[in-house]
Amino acid sequence: MIKFVRLDERLIHGQVAVKWIKQFDITHVIVANDALANDDLMKKTLKMAAPEGTKVAVKSISDTASMLENPKSSKANIMLIIDSPADALELTNKIPEIKEINIGNYGRNSINHDPDKREQLTKNVYANHKEREQIKKLVDSGRYIYFQTVPEDKKTNFKDILGVN
């Protein structure tokens, strides 16, 4: 069962391993990313970053959707991690059961390398025009899209961040 969905370009890192996995008693982490699904070195690295006892799978978006259709997945506490608004849109189109997405960190690693300059939306989220539109589509889908770095922080609805009703 999907317990938590996070958009974070850093994927599995300290906040995820120490805070979020414990917060939701996560037993399985699925990193949904088409490029990483074929990168054995990154798969090994991500598995090492997770806490001991937490199972990690790195799958394409389509394979993630198929994996979650398996009845066995309903017995696990699953955290999905995606690294971009585009992947979030694709994943929610394939998995309509996703009702909430936490956006934690995005766009900081390539602020100056993007031809469509990214602008700061929150202290840890930067997006260019196309990415803002993708986030807006997620918000407009009726899902609860929010910013929250760690569980102790207050949630901020992306409707408020984007100034939409």
Summarised one tens digit per residue, pLDDT across range 91-128 is 999 999 999 999 999 988 765 555 568 899 999 999 99
Question: What is the value of pTM for the model shown?
Answer: 0.92
Separation CA 149–CA 147 (nearest Å): 7
Give the CATH number of the domain where residue 130 resides: 3.40.35.10
pLDDT in tens, 66-86: 999 988 888 899 999 999 999
Q: At what angle do helices 85-94 and 61-69 cross, to 10 degrees?
A: 30
Residue % of the chain over a pLDDT of 70: 95
Domain of 84, in residue numbers: 2-162
Tally of structural domains, the chain: 1
Could you tell me the CA-to-CA distances from 145 to 105, 114, 136, 157, 163 in Å, in that order?
13, 24, 9, 6, 13
The pLDDT of residue 72: 87
Separation CA 67–CA 52 (nearest Å): 22
The pLDDT of residue 29: 97
DSSP state of 4: E
